Amino acid sequence: MTYRTVPWALALWALVFAAGLGCGEARAPFAGTYRSELPYGGRGHVELTLKEDGEGLWKWEEVSLRFKWRVDKGQIWLYTREGGIIIATPSDEGRRLNLDMSGSWHPSCPVEHCLTFQRVTGGAR
């Protein structure tokens, strides 16, 4: 490879890399604001905001956490800045999100570890 072909190779690599970032499932159907149906931990309700750009916000009492999110295989993956991962399973055409806060998902999520959110704004209906 000569120095004249390097810029073309870099441009081609950048194009392939950018195309790869654009792949994946659409976030738009799930973007919006959700509120937990029941109080979490016997205290206040959790408000979850999912923006189309992949940014998110978790608000519960005085706690406010920012995170990134993506859709993969029909599930919503929440990534905290500290490295934690929470997986939400959408239902009711994206109007509900089910989160198992125990750390290990199983279909019969116990009430004390499970949060179900109802969409209050946004998203495809």
Residue with tokens 């994946």: 24
CATH of the domain at 59: 2.40.128.500
Q: Is the pTM value of this prediction over 0.75?
A: no
Per-residue pLDDT at 93: 85
Q: Can you point out the beta strands (E) in the chain?
A: 32-36, 46-50, 55-60, 63-72, 75-80, 85-91, 96-100, 114-121
Q: How many separate domains does the chain show?
A: 1
Could you tell me the residue range of the domain that residue 49 belongs to?
A: 26-121
Q: From first to last of its 125 residues, what are the pLDDT tens digits of the chain?
A: 444 544 444 444 443 333 334 456 899 999 999 999 988 877 889 999 999 999 999 999 888 989 999 999 889 999 987 777 788 888 888 888 888 766 555 555 655 667 788 899 887 64
- Structure tokens belonging to residue 47: 């408000």
Does residue 81 lie in a domain region? Answer: yes
Does residue 117 lie in a domain region? Answer: yes
Does residue 5 lie in a domain region? Answer: no
Does residue 98 lie in a domain region? Answer: yes
Per-residue pLDDT at 17: 36
Per-residue pLDDT at 20: 38
Q: What percentage of the chain's residues is helix, strand, coil (to nearest 5)?
A: 25, 40, 35
Distances (CA, A) of 1 to 5, 8, 18, 94: 6, 11, 23, 50
- Shortest CA distance to 88 belongs to which of 100, 106, 80? 100
Does residue 108 lie in a domain region? Answer: yes
